[in-house]
Amino acid sequence: MQNKSRRNFLKSSLLASSLLFVPKFLHAADTSSSLKKLADSNGRRLVVVQLGGGNDGLNTVIPFRNDLYYQARPGISLPPAKLFTLEKDLAFNPAMEGLKKLFDEGQVGIFNSVGYPNPDRSHFRSMDIWHTGSDATDYLSTGWLGRYLDSNCATCATSFNGIEVDDTLSLAMKGHTKKGLALVDPKKLYRAASDPLYQQLPHKKSTGSELDYLYKTVIETTSSAEYLYQKAKIYRSTVEYPNTEFSRNLKTTAELICSGVDSRVFYLSLSGFDTHANQIGQQGRLLGDVSNGLHAFVQDLKSKDQFKDTLIMVFSEFGRRVKQNASNGTDHGTANNLFLLGGSLKKQGVLNEAPDLQTLDEGDLQHQLDFRSVYATILDNWLQADADTILGKKFGRLAGLV
């Protein structure tokens, strides 16, 4: 019995550790004054979608009138007749019908050749750079969205924290003093936090010990989980999503937004884009999931008039090399495309020049746009935050975008 009790306590401790950073705005002790601070905000939210593994941008937004594209990729180039044409001699991958519909409705903006100086071709390091907003030579322990959470309302009783629909929290969502909350299902979170073991934890004055901190955290988490669970029941989506894990996570996100959960940032990810071999089929399936899932997500938000206050950013840690490899795939590259979707985009369509396939850097695309200019524009103009402080230096803004 002792071993069983110990296992149960360790199980509770592990769960509690995953819930240490429940946003304060989820606590049941919210007051009317803190809710007023929420009402006084601009009400906008950001949804970030991470494509893990390094999505091949040249087979996502295809320069289909450029002979250099076909010369570099004789085995994996996509024929023009199958593509969804856009503008500036570019076209979407044939799997991206859902995003093409949104593009035609003026709700998509595309940036080509987005990257940073001295690019790193390691998945882990490049993703860290994107997560933290750092230079390639700097190593930071906090993410750009976590630092946004730190600065946005540090003294408010209710802070505008973020939710990541996943089992673990990304570095992007970790700040110095505030962190987002990772969850897959509000109902499962509530059930876990309602475990009788939590109810038996002692209510005692703080001693400053680590165990005491654990007790305090679990007790606070109980009311937080209940808030999310009760909120999530307000809206149940009837929109048809693809039957994939990523699209189910998008549906959960839509239900949280449409139920009125007071989060300013939502984060999702889809992995599998490391296409070193047999790329066409694998990438097509993944892009279809992204495209059709996002189309359903947008329809869901529109049904509750929430899309106008939502900005979606889709990125990957790097693109692929221009030339295909011997396995009908592509190897790690540098600059890539980045998508913005929103009901209030002031600029739509293809927002800069097509990738330059003539002037390469050792076989890789040169970046036209620093990704931190996109971050700075979103922070300043959409979330109304101090981008220079959050990013640690000044980057150019993209005028008239949001």
3-state secondary structure of 71: helix
Sorting pLDDT into bands at 50, 70 and 90, what band is 190? Answer: confident
Q: Which long-range contacts (CB under 8 A, 24 or more apart) does 388-394 make?
A: 389/151, 390/133, 390/144, 390/147, 390/148, 390/151, 391/133, 391/144, 392/133, 392/134
Pairing between β-strand 336-342 and β-strand 108-115 as defined by DSSP bridges? antiparallel
**Cα–Cα distance measured from residue 149 to residue 146, given in angstroms and rounded to the nearest whole number:** 5
Lowest-confidence region among 8-17, 61-70, 182-191, 231-240: 8-17
**pLDDT at 312 (0 to 100):** 98
**pLDDT for residue 284 is more than 80:** yes
Provide φ and ψ at 11, rounded to 5°.
-60, -45
Confirm whether 401 is domain-assigned.
Answer: no
Give the pLDDT confidence of 294-336 residue by residue, as tens digits.
999 999 999 999 999 999 999 999 999 999 999 999 999 999 9
The whole domain housing 109 covers: 44-186+238-391
**Cα–Cα distance measured from residue 108 to residue 99, given in angstroms and rounded to the nearest whole number:** 8
Nearest alpha carbon to residue 18 among 178, 181, 249 = 181
**pLDDT at 311 (0 to 100):** 98
Which residues are within 8 A (CB) of 111 and not within 5 positions of it... i.e. 6 or more apart? Answer: 337, 338, 339, 340, 351, 352, 369, 374
Sign of CA dihedral 315, 319, 324, 330: negative
Among residues of the chain, what percentage have pLDDT more than 90? Answer: 71
**pLDDT at 203 (0 to 100):** 53
Distances (CA, A) of 140 to 126, 146, 175, 330: 12, 12, 10, 30
Sorting pLDDT into bands at 50, 70 and 90, what band is 228? Answer: confident
**pLDDT at 200 (0 to 100):** 64
Pairing between β-strand 310-316 and β-strand 336-342 as defined by DSSP bridges? antiparallel
Specify the higher pLDDT residue, 319 or 182.
319
**pLDDT at 36 (0 to 100):** 34
Q: Residue 355: CA atoms inside 13 Å, Cβ hemisphere, count?
A: 38
Surface-to-core class of residue 367, CB atoms within 10 Å of its CB (0-12 exposed, 13-18 middle, 19+ buried): buried
Give the pLDDT confidence of 136-147 residue by residue, as tens digits.
999 999 999 999
**pLDDT at 335 (0 to 100):** 98
Sorting pLDDT into bands at 50, 70 and 90, what band is 31? Answer: very low
Confirm whether 129 is domain-assigned.
Answer: yes
**pLDDT at 161 (0 to 100):** 77
**pLDDT at 189 (0 to 100):** 80
Confirm whether 223 is domain-assigned.
Answer: no
**Cα–Cα distance measured from residue 396 to residue 233, given in angstroms and rounded to the nearest whole number:** 42
Confirm whether 382 is domain-assigned.
Answer: yes
**pLDDT at 226 (0 to 100):** 79
The predicted model scores a pTM of 0.88
**pLDDT at 219 (0 to 100):** 58
Q: What is the CATH number of the domain that holds 61?
A: 3.40.720.10
Confirm whether 197 is domain-assigned.
Answer: no
Distance of CA 317 to the CA centre of its chain: 12
Confirm whether 198 is domain-assigned.
Answer: no
Confirm whether 21 is domain-assigned.
Answer: no
Identity of the residue numbered 15: L
**Cα–Cα distance measured from residue 305 to residue 200, given in angstroms and rounded to the nearest whole number:** 43
Number of domains the chain is built from: 1
**Which token pair is 19?**
């819930």
Specify the higher pLDDT residue, 226 or 185.
185
Evaluate whether 395 touches 359 at the Cβ level (below 8 Å).
no
**pLDDT for residue 160 is more than 80:** no
Distance of CA 342 to the CA centre of its chain: 14
> Which residues are 370's β-sheet partners?
115
Confirm whether 145 is domain-assigned.
Answer: yes
**pLDDT for residue 206 is more than 60:** no
